Structure 1
């Protein structure tokens, strides 16, 4: 087996939660507001439903093909050629998303805190430390999530509490002014982030308590839903109609914090916690890419691939996403259409074929007995 380490289902859930929530809370509010308006905080609900479906599909597939990820059992279900094609498509798209996630980190740090630092330095440092975590194995990653995920949750709670004096309830009214349609349009952007729950397929084979895998996968989705809804709502209540005019509305909302002219300018603290979340996000992406690629090529070890993938990610991120406009184009086109389509339809297709094959095998056994 490529990975000898073991993690708990809770650690898996924390890694999935942290890897998704880190960038979604920054960039989703602005994109969602442009379509859902003041109902942007309700748009993540349909996306969460899709995410729960993916978790259940993958858990069922894992029951049928234990000790294997989607890269491996796709070959058993649809044959070697078809399975390799599915695996290649998924890995290439995950690499595509990894590069964008890395660019988002660099763009955010550069825009708000280190404008004079070359982007390659910012991207290179986070990629290097993330690769070190992946090289240490899944157990190291799980323990890091034990340490850093509570920090993220504490940061979110502090933001909610400190922004209470700046909240204006009238900013969210009227609710359902134009019906459900704007909410569904807003969920168009959040679908991809929630559909990244597909990554649990790469962690399920290494769980100590597999029977709790589905439970904590679903729990992580609900925690993600609550966090994204809360942060979207806070951004709306503080910024009002200006929510859609900022690249990262939540950070702009944090700048409003001023308690008795003493507790203010907390952006650096928020940034420190956010970097911790970005660290989790990148090492989850790199682990999925390294492990998945090793499984695709039938290698005996994924570790030699870790640092080349990290280096490749930095190079492609700078080339693939030249500016904010290009990133928005990706979000509105490729990400929001191709991502959910791949991450939902491929597991559903594989599960249907697996059930059909199983039924045929059962029928043959019945005929042989007769």
Structure 2
């Protein structure tokens, strides 16, 4: 399979956009209500060690992705079985994010449009991007991360008159338990979802690159998620933040300066479109790369379109309503994904360390 090279900066940008993907519209940490900003800070601390495990796996076996590592560590039979699990989680997550995109567009702006239409649009863009490889995604994300940061800063400045600092006080009024619950939710969505980059990052510069990419991606992405979520709470209050389906959209809609700056919700839409494109693309790339490795194909690109169509169908059928989508995202996903984000990576890492040590002794 041809190697596709990306720089550390491009890798950082990809992880940042991946992290910010759906969080711009869905909001995170709502279990903690007014203390959700504390939950986000705590989730970053939770995420740091597990992301270092992801980075360690890539640095132990340079120029290899997780699919290759699994076969090296566990052998072909067990390695392929675990690969199937990761192919599924990548495929499933891509379907969930694609549905997020469809629900957002239909419920916010195109209420008379069949949901399948915007979903076809975004998945078609992803197919085009993936067929040109992760190098194109890397260059694209390197440019658009600047656009996202500019939009976040602009939106934040315009929303200052609508901020009510009392919306976050008193701090820890409901105790620490809701904060820990919220932090667990934010840990699983979106930070620990970056396990998928272990499935596609096989050509970073050197053995230290995975650490650099994951650390800076987590910090930058975490800061953006923290700022946007804190702004939403300060503007909407705890009740609206925890009950609205798309709190970011409602918060930004309140920004007005006189009669000439109004209705700037396009900021949220552009940010979500950009992050959503990257997130779905990485999910699609991960699943296609896994299928290619599973069956010994030399190139994954010829299966991108069939996989994309399957993802589109699953995303269209997976929920019956917006309520069900939000319920799954915040109540089921954290526990469902824990196996793929924490239990399996730690197990793989421990066995990989032993295997790597034995290989070094043999050499």
* TM-score, normalised with respect to structure 2: 0.94
Which residue pairs with 2:42 in the alignment?
A: 46
Which residue pairs with 1:132 in the alignment?
A: 128
- Residues 102-126 of structure 1 show CA distances to partners (whole Å, capped at 9, x for unaligned) of 0000100111111111111110111
Alpha-carbon offset, residue 261 of structure 1: 2.5
Cα 1:165–1:352 change in 2 (3 A) is same
Which residue pairs with 1:165 in the alignment?
A: 161
Which residue pairs with 1:176 in the alignment?
A: 172
Which residue pairs with 2:218 in the alignment?
A: 221
Alpha-carbon offset, residue 58 of structure 1: 2.3
Could you tell me which runs of 5 or more consecutive residues in structure 1 were left unpaired when the two chains were aligned. none
- Residues 84-106 of structure 1 show CA distances to partners (whole Å, capped at 9, x for unaligned) of 11111111122111111000001
- In structure 2, how many angstroms separate the alpha carbons of the residues matched to 1:362 and 1:302? 32
Are the aligned partners of 1:54 and 1:198 in contact in 2 as well (CA < 8 Å)? Answer: no
2:208 counterpart SS class: helix
Which residue pairs with 1:18 in the alignment?
A: 17
- Of 203, 208, 224, the match for 2:205: 208
- In structure 1, how many angstroms separate the alpha carbons of the residues matched to 2:50 and 2:200? 14
1:259 counterpart SS class: coil
Deviates more, 1:264-273 or 1:180-189: 264-273
Q: Greater share of helix residues, 1 or 2? A: 1
Alpha-carbon offset, residue 264 of structure 1: 0.6
Are the aligned partners of 1:99 and 1:313 in contact in 2 as well (CA < 8 Å)? Answer: yes
Matched, 1:197 2:194: yes
Which residue pairs with 1:263 in the alignment?
A: 261
Question: Which of the two has higher C-alpha Rg?
Answer: 1
Are the aligned partners of 1:71 and 1:87 in contact in 2 as well (CA < 8 Å)? Answer: yes
- In structure 2, how many angstroms separate the alpha carbons of the residues matched to 1:28 and 1:268? 17
- In structure 1, how many angstroms separate the alpha carbons of the residues matched to 2:38 and 2:59? 33
- Residues 72-93 of structure 1 show CA distances to partners (whole Å, capped at 9, x for unaligned) of 2112212222111111111112
Cα 1:48–1:296 change in 2 (3 A) is farther
Cα 1:254–1:214 change in 2 (3 A) is same
Are the aligned partners of 2:56 and 2:211 in contact in 1 as well (CA < 8 Å)? Answer: no
Could you tell me which runs of 5 or more consecutive residues in structure 2 were left unpaired when the two chains were aligned. none
Are the aligned partners of 1:18 and 1:281 in contact in 2 as well (CA < 8 Å)? Answer: yes
- Of 251, 263, 274, the match for 2:272: 274
1:205 counterpart SS class: coil
Q: How many residue pairs end up in the alignment?
A: 361
Alpha-carbon offset, residue 322 of structure 1: 2.2
Which residue pairs with 1:149 in the alignment?
A: 145
- In structure 2, how many angstroms separate the alpha carbons of the residues matched to 1:111 and 1:275? 15
Q: CA RMSD in A?
A: 1.9
Alpha-carbon offset, residue 277 of structure 1: 2.2
Which residue pairs with 2:248 in the alignment?
A: 250
Deviates more, 1:7-16 or 1:38-47: 38-47
Alpha-carbon offset, residue 361 of structure 1: 5.9
- Of 233, 238, 247, the match for 1:236: 233
